[in-house]
Chains A and B, each alone.
Chain A
Amino acid sequence: MSRQAARTGDPRKVNGELFTLTYGALVAQLMKDYENDDEVNKQLEKMGYNIGVRIIEDFLARANSGRCNDFRDVADVISKVAFKMYLGITPVVSNWSPAGDEFSLLLENNPLTDFVELPEGHDSLNYSNILCGVLKGALEMIQMDVDVKFVQDHLKGDNITEVRLKFIKRLEDAVPVGED
Chain B
Amino acid sequence: MASIGKQKASNLDKSLSKGKPEVNVATFALLFSEIVQYCQNRVYTVPELQSKLAEMGQHVGTHLLDVLFVREKGFKREIKLLSMLIFIKSNFWKTVYGREAEKLEQANDDERTYYIIEKEPLVNRFISVPKDKGSLNCAAFTAGMLEAVLNGANFPAKVTVHWHKGTCFMIKFDESVIARDKMIDSR
Contacts and interface: CB of A to CB of B under 8 A. Distances in A.
Asked if A and B form a direct contact in the complex, defined as CB atoms under 8 angstroms apart, the reply is: yes
Interface residues of A, number: 52
Contacts of B59: 21, 24-25, 28-29
B35 A26 contact: yes
B25 interface: yes
Given A17-B64, A19-B27, A51-B34, A117 B11 contact: yes
Contact of B99 (A5, A87, A120): A5
Contacts of A120: 1, 3
A15 B42 CA distance: 28
Interface in B12-69: 12, 17, 20-28, 30-35, 37-38, 42, 55-57, 59-60, 63-64, 67
Contacts of A67: none
A9 interface: yes
A99 interface: no
Contacts of B17: 114
A74 interface: no
Nearest to A87: B23
B183 interface: no
B99 A22 contact: no
Contacts of B135: none
A154 B104 CA distance: 43
B32 to A, nearest CB: 7
B100 A157 contact: no
Contacts of B30: 51, 54-55, 58
A117 B24 CA distance: 24
B9 A154 contact: yes
Contacts of B100: 3, 5-7
B179 interface: no
Interface stretch (B72-80, B90-98, B151-159, B168-176): B90-98
B99 A29 contact: no
Given A22-B60, A33-B42, A88 B25 contact: no
Interface string A2-19: 110111111111111111
Contact of A157 (B7, B42, B104): B7
B102 interface: yes
Given A13-B25, A14-B28, A25-B60, A47 B38 contact: yes
Identify the interface centre among B10, B67, B95, B98: most chain A CB within 10 Å of its CB.
B98
Contact of A29 (B32, B56, B106): B56
A16 B21 contact: yes
Contacts of A12: 24-25
Q: Which 4 A-B pairs have the closest CB atoms?
A: A9-B98, A16-B21, A25-B59, A13-B22
7 contacts: A5-B101, A19-B31, A24-B63, A58-B26, A86-B23, A120-B3, A156-B8
